[in-house]
Amino acid sequence: MTTATMTTEIQQAPIAEWLREKVAFYLEEPVDSIRTDTKLAEYGLDSLHGLTLCGEIEDEFGIEVAPTLVWDYPTVDALSGLLAEMLAEHGNRTA
């Protein structure tokens, strides 16, 4: 495993937790009920919440994301992995 890969994996954990908290808030569910490997649509996350989450990602991390991001990367694991990579490329910090 390369140092860059290890750094991305370390940065991914706080991003995943931040995403779980946001999704749990939107769905009015306990954070512990949000699994990182389950598609967000299976929890009932709708397009309005998806767009809101994209806006919150942009605000929190200072990066621009496509409005379809949540559907293109449909799990917390997929989203947090992508965001960690994007932040590493831009030299940004995590949440």
Domain positions in the chain are: 3-90
Which is more confident, 6 or 11?
Answer: 11
Rounded-to-integer distance, Cα 56 and Cα 43, Å? 19
Top CATH class, 3-90: mainly alpha
pLDDT in tens, 9-45: 668 999 999 999 999 999 999 999 999 999 999 999 9
Q: What is the pLDDT of residue 11?
A: 85
pLDDT band at 84 (very low <50, low <70, confident <90, very high): very high
Positive or negative CA dihedral for 34, 37, 43, 49?
positive
Sequence letter at residue 49: H
% of the chain with per-residue pLDDT over 90: 80
pLDDT in tens, 42-72: 999 999 999 999 999 999 999 999 999 999 9
Q: What is the DSSP string of 25-61?
A: HHHT--GGG--TTS-GGGGT--HHHHHHHHHHHHHHH
Phi, psi of 74 (to 5 degrees): -80, 0
Structure tokens belonging to residue 71: 């559907």
Closest Cα partner for 36 from 48, 24, 27? 24
Q: What is the pLDDT of residue 9?
A: 63
User: C-alpha dihedral over 29, 32, 10, 53, to 10 degrees?
Assistant: -10
Q: What is the pTM of this model?
A: 0.85
Look up tokens 């910090």; give the residue: 93
